[in-house]
Amino acid sequence: MQELKQKLTANIKAAYPEIKEKDYPGNRLDFTVDKQYLVSILTYLKESLGYIHLSHIACVDWLEEGEFEVIFILWSPEEKLKVFLRVRVDRENPVMPNVDMIWRQANTYEREMREMFGIQFEGLEAPEEFVLEDWQGPPPMRRDFDTESYANETFFHRPGREDALDVREEIIKRSREEIPDFAKKYSR
Amino acid sequence: MREKATTLYLGPQHPGITGNMMVRLKVEGDTIVGATTEVGYLHRAFEKLQEKRNWLQSFTLMCRFCVPETDPMEESYARAVEAIEGREVPERAKYIRVMVLELARLASFMLWYGGQNGSLGLYTMGQWSVGDRNYILDLFEELTGGRVYHMYIWPGGVRRDLPQGFEKRVLKTMDYLEKRLDDYDDLMFDNAIFKKRTQGVGIVNKEKAIEHGVVGPVLRGCGIRSDIRIDDPYEVYDKLDFEVPTAEGSDIWARALVRRQEARQSIRIIRQVIDMMPGGEFYNKVPNPQKWTLPKGDAYVRTESVRGEIGMYIASDGGTNPRRVHLRGAAYVHAITLLEDVLIGENIADVSAIMNSLGTCPPEIER
Amino acid sequence: MINDKNTQKLVDVIQNWARKHSIWVLAYGTGCGAIEIPPTMTSRYDAERLGVRGAATPRQADVLLITGYLTTKTLKRVIRVYEQMQDPKYVIGFGSCTINGGMYYDSYNTIKVLDKYLPVDVYINGCMPRPEAVLAGFGKLQELIAAGKADGAKKYKENLDWYRENQKRIIPNWVMPDYNW
């Protein structure tokens, strides 16, 4: 396992010298790349090094740092290693290259990221709406969109118990019984 | 006289699949020349809801991702949280987890038998297999308290120990179900109507499979032997002895043969687990779950469910609420881009059967 | 002699008796709860002994079973399906998501109270309700039909403006016909 990881790191660093890597226990290896090398490094991993399976594309919103982080996770059936490729995109004007032509299923992931986060992919050909219909608000998965206040304004709620009585007291009052001693230690 | 292509709207309700999805077909006569899928009828915004719930509360949302088979989601959540924190799980808990996962896989197979045949018009199979599935749900109810949503596998182990005499009841149910699988063979796999309608339909050949990133029984039906339980083993699967079946042909018939063998292997695994179950602890206790924080980091774990590979990515920023939980089911890859490719050239009457065979489960796609 | 009150009452009793023993449910599972409908309809918790069976199209169905949460996209289709059904028709709300929003009380895409958009006759609570609870819900609907109190359809027709205003508030792209009863 450790020699395979070192061989892979040596291969990648020979072709792309500015990459930073980080090692984890188990069969996981992380690389942080720049946006401009993304398509070429993915093609190199798929065609020459045997990482033919794209397992996942995830996106995390780091609001405090003002960036999105997009993570590509690849798997190789022969070497049995997982490779994470991390890319950071600016939050004000997020533009990413399209990797549709390498793996066809990336089309679905990119459609969802475009709708939920607002990231634009150059050259993506797909219908605009994926999951939401006639949505006029901001991209919903961004951290500055508050879903609870939106739900309170748009939908009716069933009015509940505004007074929030203590259930245990009420039951004691109604049934006029004492709770036994062993149950008393479970109150809040 | 040449006909123009017309558009046909199929959906949102299909016989045989659990969920709502729309497929827009462009047809000329009876042959399909183009297809567009549309999802979004079941979108609840799970990942947005998890921003406001802490680690204990978002565990209750986990099992409602995929409705026919709810345990792999809880198990991937538990394993990912343990990977971020570095928490150890006792041996007995791992064996109990494998038993629960395989029971859920069997129950989902029973539902699949009904669905695949229901979409072809053979309704007797659904009555038999859904009736037998109730015996497995009885076992779940005794163990966890609920038939469909269990909430039993928790980071650190499982929530309570097995009841007394539970292993005997499980073995009795397994003996009964093994006899019933022979009956299903007579009704379904020796049936001339089923063979004629499924051989040569819905072909996914090897190049298309690798280009679209196909997983699970669809990949095993093409002849490629790939299973997460063997390639990237988790829990105690590396100590158990079972086979991974493959079939040639890549049509609906080949995938049905693969699933038929997998049901028998599930019964074999459950019997081994009950034989090898050690004693000891079943839960590595989490101190005060209401105020539990995890260190900063992320993790990605994979599980093998009935339809293929489930990937769960969790990112934590050091607080009490998760930063990002992103689950991707097998249907996400199969039911949108692959389906639009496979449907070209088929008849309208086979669309439901192809959707069921590729493993379409819309609640998993749009969460 | 035909139009006096006693004959009318006798006709009502016979008509309600016939209706309550043959309830056809539209085969449309709109949410999570559709996973407990196959066990209810198959051999162990057999619902067909009460006269309950599945119907294929809205024009042939009596009951619309809303199983679980409804998103705004599905609500648009369900309203059209409900208006295509013929009288007498009933709506059963299934699961706690139809009562007060359930687990998804702060989601931006699901509706919280079903009663403001469609008239509901019977609620069955639980998450999921067991098949025995579903059969008890059908029993309660049968009692309401026998007493002549299951009049959700009449309420919808009389208060159509109020229901339309609530529906148009959350569905921005209204492409359905405005019926004039």
Confidence grade of residue C17 (pLDDT, cut at 50, 70, 90): very high
Nearest chain B residue (CA) to A79: B231
* Residues B226, B244: Cα–Cα separation, whole Å: 8
Cβ separation C103–B64 shorter than 8 A: yes
For chain A, domain boundaries: 2-179
The subunits that touch chain C, with at least 3 C-beta pairs less than 8 Å apart, are: A, B
HSE at residue A8, side-chain half, CA atoms within 13 A, is 28
Q: How many residues does chain C have?
A: 181
The subunits that touch chain B, with at least 3 C-beta pairs less than 8 Å apart, are: A, C
C56 touches chain B (CB under 8 A): no
Give pLDDT tens digits for C105-114. Answer: 888 888 888 9
Cβ separation C112–A140 shorter than 8 A: no
CB contacts < 8 A (B, C)? 75
Confidence grade of residue C180 (pLDDT, cut at 50, 70, 90): low
Beta strands, E only, A11-65 = 20-23, 28-32, 53-62
Cβ separation A60–B324 shorter than 8 A: yes
B 184-223 residues inside an 8 A Cβ radius of C: none
Cβ separation C173–A134 shorter than 8 A: yes
Segment B134-162 mean pLDDT: 90
Nearest to A55 among B39, B52, B311 (CB): B311
Nearest to C44 among B13, B126, B131 (CB): B131
Residue B230: give its domain's CATH number: 1.10.645.10
Question: Is B89 inside a domain boundary?
Answer: yes
- CATH architecture of the domain C5-170 equals 3-Layer(aba) Sandwich (3.40)
By percentage, how much of chain C surpasses pLDDT 90? 24
pLDDT exceeds cutoff 50 at A188: no
By percentage, how much of chain A surpasses pLDDT 70? 91
Segment B259-288 mean pLDDT: 89
Segment B152-176 mean pLDDT: 91
Number of structural domains (chain B) is 1
* ipTM surpasses 0.85: yes
Segment B272-295 mean pLDDT: 86
Cβ separation A132–B43 shorter than 8 A: yes
* Domain span holding position B135: 6-366
- Please name the residue ranges forming H helices in B277-358: 331-333, 339-342, 351-357
> Closest Cα partner for A75 from A101, A49, A40, A95?
A49
Confidence grade of residue A161 (pLDDT, cut at 50, 70, 90): low
Cis preceding-peptide flag for C88 (omega within 30 of 0): yes
Q: Cβ-count burial of B287 within 10 angstroms (0-12 exposed, 13-18 middle, 19+ buried)?
A: exposed
Please state the CATH superfamily assignment of the domain spanning residues A2-179 in this structure.
Answer: NADH:ubiquinone oxidoreductase Nqo5 subunit (3.30.460.80)
pLDDT attached to residue B60: 87
Query: Min CA distance, C39 vs chain B (Å)?
Result: 6
Segment B150-171 mean pLDDT: 90
Residue A15 has a CB neighbour count (10 Å cut-off) of 12
Q: How far is CA A84 from the centre of its chain?
A: 13
Q: Residue B52: its chain A contacts at CB < 8 A?
A: 147-148
B 135-194 residues inside an 8 A Cβ radius of C: 137, 147-149
pLDDT attached to residue C4: 83
For chain C, domain boundaries: 5-170
